[in-house]
Amino acid sequence: MRCIYFAVFLLAGCASATDNKPGQGGNSLGTSGMYSITSLYDGDTGSRERAAKWMDTEAKNICASDYTRTSEESVPTMNQLGEVTFSRLVWEIKCLPQPERANAQ
């Protein structure tokens, strides 16, 4: 069962808030560097922390710089008995501007 959760965790991936990449025009949300990242975690000890660590790495990869988290939400998924089977961790992030690099001349 844990193997299934791990597979879902890996496949949850991250999704841009829009289909546009920053700088490609279109929706202002996409050009402002705003993204939504989602990951699943189960009730095992430390699983939420592992999901948050993975999402931090993904946010840094998406932004190619630092970022700020604008919101965080944990959404539980329950079975027919009312037990939480897994939860979805959702972050809204905003990429921070990349620092200007000095020319090495």
Q: Concatenated DSSP letters for 77-91?
A: EE-TTS-EEEEEEEE
0.85 cut: is pTM over it? no
Instruction: Give residue 1's Cα distance to chain centre.
Output: 24
The pLDDT assigned to 24 comes to 37
The pLDDT assigned to 1 comes to 52
- Edge-to-edge strand ranges of the sheet holding 84-95: 14-16, 34-41, 84-95, 67-78
Mean pLDDT calculated for residue range 29-51: 85
Note the residue count of the chain. 105
The pLDDT assigned to 69 comes to 96
Dist CA 63 CA 70 (whole Å) = 14
